[in-house]
């Protein structure tokens, strides 16, 4: 295609989509790296869940069940809801994108507690909407007044995550209920990390028609690559969102694994306890090494690095040692890294790399 033709094609894009740069092609992740940058759960599926995945491959020639009926019924039974209160998706990220499409027209706004999930910036851009970031207080308490009034007053819906990503902090459910009770807008509560937390807002679903809860099997259930997510809410809202979904939005393996996980949730308790133990062990070790670590109720830690370097510097030098961690785009978190909690050997490798980097830095300063 000539340049002239290409420019004509690109000019036909909508104004919103012209703002998106083409994604560059790049190398895949190094398989030798310890991957602690995307909050995955590194453990194998329980044997019964794995068997369900293998058995599903025998039905690969069939389309998956439309509207995810069996999976929604299984989730409803597990969480004491009715099937019409449940939507199943290709990860909770698909369900989040449906909310943007369903509720936002160009020029509308949505409010998000900040720092929060960076993907929301892109979703807002695609709807030509404004994302209003409402800062938490110093104590990470829920700023209810800011979310109800001020710039957020006209937001079509409010996004919260509990526990929050990237901080790992947890807000008492009583505070969540206070916000939901006082608001007449939709409150979207992302509980992706709730299995590592002390409480859940699921019991509020039948009390408040303006609450929608998102869940995922990517974190505590070690199924990030299979893509299983849920939304729980009022049947009227859930039914309209289901009507927006693509046909056959989930594959037969995701259906089978999702149903099996729901039937074997107790099989994950040992892995959850391991992650919580390692999280506290690594938090203490990093604190001893000069990091300031936020107490976490998730499967990751947000750590402010020792003075003199920023998070990007630490990410680069850890990557040289085959350790991948995340840095955050949020204002005020430039000096932080986020570290997923993996197996004991993975966390030992991370701490060893940190110790080596600190040792090299100390030697360099002494030589100057």
Per the prediction, the chain carries an average pLDDT of 92
Beta bridge partners of 216: 229
What are the helix (H) ranges across 192-289? 235-244, 252-263, 269-288
Instruction: Find the range with the poorest average confidence among 138-142, 161-165, 258-262, 299-303.
Output: 138-142
Residue 22 has what pLDDT? 81
What is the percentage of the chain residues whose pLDDT exceeds 90?
A: 79
- Distance CA(342)–CA(339), nearest Å, equals 9
Distances (CA, A) of 64 to 61, 229, 251: 9, 16, 6
pLDDT tens readout for residues 36-84: 999 999 999 999 999 999 999 999 999 999 999 999 999 999 999 999 9
pLDDT tens readout for residues 331-344: 889 999 999 999 99
Please determine, for residue 1, whether its predicted confidence score (pLDDT) is greater than 50. Answer: no
CATH 3.40.640.10 corresponds to the domain 47-263: yes
Match domain 29-43+268-362 to its CATH number in 3.40.50.300, 3.40.50.720, 3.40.50.620, 3.90.1150.10: 3.90.1150.10
Taking alpha carbons only, the member of 249, 252, 257, 256 closest to residue 224 is 257
Distances (CA, A) of 254 to 194, 249, 313, 336: 21, 10, 38, 35
CB 21 within 8 A of CB 329: no
Check for a shared fold between 29-43+268-362 and 47-263.
Answer: no
Break the chain into its structural domains and give their ranges.
29-43+268-362, 47-263
Sign of CA dihedral 30, 119, 72, 276: positive
Please determine, for residue 363, whether its predicted confidence score (pLDDT) is greater than 70. Answer: no
Please determine, for residue 137, whether its predicted confidence score (pLDDT) is greater than 80. Answer: no
pLDDT tens readout for residues 196-215: 999 999 999 999 999 999 99
Please determine, for residue 366, whether its predicted confidence score (pLDDT) is greater than 70. Answer: no
CB 35 within 8 A of CB 29: yes
Distances (CA, A) of 12 to 17, 37, 295: 10, 37, 49
């Amino acid at each position: 295609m000539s340049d002239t033709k290409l420019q004509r094609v690109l000019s036909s894009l909508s104004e919103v989509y012209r703002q998106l740069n083409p994604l560059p092609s790049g190398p895949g992740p190094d398989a030798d790296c310890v991957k602690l940058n995307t909050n995955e759960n590194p453990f194998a599926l329980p044997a019964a869940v794995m068997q369900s995945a293998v058995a599903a491959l025998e039905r690969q020639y069939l389309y998956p069940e439309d509207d995810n009926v069996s999976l929604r019924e299984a989730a409803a039974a597990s969480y004491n809801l009715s099937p019409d209160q449940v939507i199943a998706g290709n990860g909770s990220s698909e369900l989040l994108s449906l909310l943007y499409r369903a509720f936002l027209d160009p020029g509308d706004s949505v409010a998000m507690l900040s720092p929060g999930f960076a993907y929301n910036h892109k979703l807002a851009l695609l709807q030509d909407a404004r994302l209003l970031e409402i800062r938490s207080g110093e104590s990470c308490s829920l700023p209810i007044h800011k979310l109800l009034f001020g710039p957020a007053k006209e937001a079509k819906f409010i996004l919260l995550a509990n526990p929050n990503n990237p901080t790992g902090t947890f807000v008492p459910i009583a505070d969540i209920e206070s916000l939901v009770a006082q608001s007449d807008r939709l409150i979207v509560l992302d509980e992706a990390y709730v299995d590592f937390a002390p409480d859940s807002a699921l019991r509020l679903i039948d009390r408040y028609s303006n609450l929608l809860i998102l869940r995922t099997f990517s974190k505590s259930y070690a199924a990030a690559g299979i893509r299983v997510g849920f939304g729980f809410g009022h049947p009227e809202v859930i039914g309209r969102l289901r009507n927006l979904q693509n046909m056959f939005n989930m594959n037969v393996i995701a259906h089978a694994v999702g149903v099996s996980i729901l039937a074997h949730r107790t099989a994950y308790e040992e892995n959850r306890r391991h992650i919580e133990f390692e999280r506290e062990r690594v938090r203490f070790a990093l604190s001893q090494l000069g990091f300031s670590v936020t107490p976490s109720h998730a499967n990751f830690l947000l750590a402010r690095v020792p003075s003199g370097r920023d998070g990007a510097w630490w990410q680069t030098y850890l990557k040289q040692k085959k350790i991948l961690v995340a840095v955050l785009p949020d204002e005020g978190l430039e000096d932080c890294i986020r570290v997923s909690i993996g197996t004991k050997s993975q966390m030992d490798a991370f701490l060893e790399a940190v110790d080596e980097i600190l040792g090299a830095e100390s030697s360099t300063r002494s030589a100057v």
